[in-house]
Amino acid sequence: MNAELRACDTTQSLGDGATRLIAAPAIVLEHLSFARGEQMVLDDLNAVLAADDFVVLVGPNGAGKSTLLHLILGLLTPTGGGVTLLGGAPAATRAAVGYVPQHGRFDRRFPIDVGGMVLQGRQPPGWHPGWRPTAADQAAVDEALTRCGIAKLSRRRLGALSGGEMQRALIARALAGKPRLLLLDEPTASIDPAGQEALYTLLGELNRQMPLLVVSHDLSLISRQARRVWCLNRRLHVHPALELTAETLASLYGFPVRAVDHRSDHAEAV
Amino acid sequence: MSFLAALLQQTFLQHAVAASLLAALACGVVGVLVVLRRIAFLAGGIAHGALAGMGAAYLLGWPPLPGAIAAALAMAVLLWRLTTRQRHDEEVLIAAMWSVGMAAGLIMIARSAGENPDLMSYLFGNILMVGRDQLLWMAGLDLLTLGIVAAFYPAIATTVFDEEYARLRGLPVEAIRLLLLLLVALTVVLLIQVVGLILVIALLTLPAAAALSSRSMLAMMWRAALIAGAACLGGLWLAYAQDWPAGASMVLLTAAVYLVASLRRR
């Protein structure tokens, strides 16, 4: 099934519904547009994130990446076209998305430990007066911590974590909610090489169970794990990850991009 | 007569101790939310706006405490509406509400016929004059505040820690923000009895800030309440033994605890 799905990657369009009936796509963008006043931020985006996909979303600053994430999650309303998230309207289905924000934006002095933060991933929607986590919630937390390899850090305060550990804790919080899709924002940014390496492996493992959409500038992530790359700069171009060339990226960013190959430990300009 | 001996005999001191402890409880719990959510400036606006309610109550011949509660709650709703969308002039609006509320209160108090209310006790508190009725009011406000926090603690904690994530999880983030401001309003009224509305902001921020090194929000709340309680009792002792103004003594003691805590964290 996977081979079949991947075989049609290069010719992917909304018309190939026949092969996709096997498993419903996680995200479908149809003629999605978003304008802020006169300014067109996103212009007629069309793409499908398949049920087993690993998509990396790239694009220069100001290309509309955050806007697209907010549209996918239903925090913004499209000015044209639409988004289908996990088979429904984003506002109704987004609770099933495991969202992993950038690790750098947290106040490290906040009085909370890793276990406490991951437990917040079990928070039910709505008011629920008197709700307290149950043993089942705690079990889901322990499972998520183990899966992310940070079971030992459960009692550690957030402020004492490294960037890589914090990123794992945020992924664990998303996993605790038993998501059907993971959405990560710059997971490998400002993390040391060893931490990045471990994250690539973890993301690859997670992709065996669920689709991933990762916003990233990290070319290693694209070459290692991604199946498809969404190149965004007001308009969206979908590339199979293996075919993504330096020229494509350079034209997207408007300047030559430096690719870093961690495997050979050599940096080469492309 | 020593403070403890006096405490056994004098009703006014017993009332003052009870008022201190009641205020400290709410101030520890809600102060943590104020500090972590960074809404100290909003809390200050609510506290000063409460004077308008007390002034209106005086003008109409009502007891001042219900007036203060109504005004503080109204102020909380108003400030919530004004800050719902992150506006560029948010700070200016809060500052304006802060001073307009206070100015309106001053004018209404000045215009109230006959009785000359003790303005100083609103502004700086008068804990040695707290009566039985006021204590009952304070206990009721405490129960309400702590009950609300207890009922919604996980949702409040999740929202205070990461609002964006809470919204994605389907929590009523905006309503929780309003709830926090209403809790601040109730706590402010409690604290006005003890230290007066000018010094409220110190008790809403310093004990919580001194407890910042806790492992969880709940632990921070207990520690903040303990610090606030100790500082209030210490201030009371200074007021009795040295004849210092009680509210000001409490604030300085809290500030001292905060200073020591921040130096130790380095």
Residue A227 in 3-state DSSP?
A: coil
Residue A184 vs residues A54, A61, A161, A242, B73: alpha-carbon distances, Å? 11, 17, 19, 21, 40
Distance CA B48, CA B67 (A): 13
> Touching check for B215 and chain A: CB below 8 Å?
yes
Say if the Cβ atoms of B154 and A131 lie within 8 Å: yes
Q: What is the pLDDT of residues B66-114, one digit of tens each?
A: 888 999 999 999 999 988 876 778 888 889 989 999 999 999 988 886 6
Mean pLDDT of chain A: 84
**A101: chain B residues, CB-CB within 8 Å:** 162, 164-165
Of A111, A133, A177, the CB nearest to B216: A111
Distance CA B195, CA B211 (A): 21
pLDDT at A156 over 80: yes
> Touching check for B155 and chain A: CB below 8 Å?
yes
Q: What percent of chain A has pLDDT over 70?
A: 81
**Mean pLDDT of all residues in B22-47:** 94
Phi, psi at B212, each rounded to 5°: -65, -20
**Mean pLDDT of all residues in A221-235:** 88
Q: What is the pLDDT of residues A124-152, one digit of tens each?
A: 999 999 999 999 999 999 999 999 999 99
Q: Report how many Cβ contacts below 8 Å link chain A to chain B.
A: 71
Q: What is the pTM of this model?
A: 0.87
pLDDT at A175 over 80: yes
Residue B159 C-alpha, separation from nearest chain A C-alpha, in angstroms: 9
**B167: chain A residues, CB-CB within 8 Å:** 75
pLDDT of residue B114: 61
| Residue B57: CB atoms within 10 Å | 24
pLDDT of residue A33: 96
**B155: chain A residues, CB-CB within 8 Å:** 123, 127-128, 131
Would you place residue B173 in the very low, low, confident or very high pLDDT band (cuts 50, 70, 90)?
very high
pLDDT at B116 over 90: no
Quick check: B19 and B191 in contact, CB under 8 A?
no
Q: Which of A19-28, A48-57, B159-168 has the lowest mean pLDDT?
A: A19-28
Would you place residue A254 in the very low, low, confident or very high pLDDT band (cuts 50, 70, 90)?
low
Quick check: B91 and B75 in contact, CB under 8 A?
no
Q: What domains appear along chain B, each with residue ranges and CATH number? A: 3-265 (1.10.3470.10)
Q: Where are the domains of chain A?
A: 2-109+179-269
Q: What is the pLDDT of residues B180-232, one digit of tens each?
A: 999 999 999 889 888 898 889 999 999 999 999 998 999 999 999 999 999 99
Q: In sequence order, what are the residues at sequence separation of 6 or more whose Cβ sits closer than 8 angstroms to the Cβ of residue A61? A: none
- What's the token pair of residue A127? 């008011």
**A121: chain B residues, CB-CB within 8 Å:** 169
Strands (DSSP E) along chain A, which ranges?
Answer: 27-36, 39-49, 54-58, 80-85, 97-100, 181-185, 212-215, 228-233, 235-240, 258-261, 266-269
Q: Which of A88-102, A105-119, A236-250 has the lowest mean pLDDT?
A: A236-250
Would you place residue A18 in the very low, low, confident or very high pLDDT band (cuts 50, 70, 90)?
very low
Of B161, B167, B213, the CB nearest to A112: B161
pLDDT at A20 over 90: no
Would you place residue A22 in the very low, low, confident or very high pLDDT band (cuts 50, 70, 90)?
low
Q: What is the 3-state secondary structure (H, E, C) of chain B?
A: CCHHHHHHHCHHHHHHHHHHHHHHHHHHHHHHHHHHHCCHHHHHHHHHHHHHHHHHHHHHCCCHHHHHHHHHHHHHHHHHHHCCCCCCCHHHHHHHHHHHHHHHHHHHHHHCCCCCCCHHHHHHCCHHHCCHHHHHHHHHHHHHHHHHHHHCHHHHHHHHHCHHHHHHCCCCHHHHHHHHHHHHHHHHHHHHHHHCCCCHHHHHHHHHHHCCCCCCHHHHHHHHHHHHHHHHHHHHHHHHHHCCCHHHHHHHHHHHHHHHHHHHHC
**A109: chain B residues, CB-CB within 8 Å:** 212
Residue A35 in 3-state DSSP?
A: strand
Distance CA A179, CA A176 (A): 8
Would you place residue B129 in the very low, low, confident or very high pLDDT band (cuts 50, 70, 90)?
confident
Say if the Cβ atoms of B171 and A126 lie within 8 Å: yes
Residue A132 C-alpha, separation from nearest chain B C-alpha, in angstroms: 7
pLDDT at A6 over 70: no
Quick check: B112 and B59 in contact, CB under 8 A?
yes
Mutate to test the interface with B, among A93, A123, A170, A183 (most CBs of B within 10 A): A123
Would you place residue A257 in the very low, low, confident or very high pLDDT band (cuts 50, 70, 90)?
low
pLDDT of residue A48: 96
pLDDT of residue B110: 86
pLDDT of residue A103: 85
> Touching check for A97 and chain B: CB below 8 Å?
yes
pLDDT at A95 over 70: yes
What's the ipTM? 0.88
Q: Which helix (H) or strand (E) holds A130?
A: none
Assigned superfamily of A2-109+179-269:
P-loop containing nucleotide triphosphate hydrolases (3.40.50.300)
pLDDT at A15 over 50: no
Q: In sequence order, what are the residues at sequence separation of 6 or more whose Cβ sits closer than 8 angstroms to the Cβ of residue B252? A: B235
> Touching check for A99 and chain B: CB below 8 Å?
yes
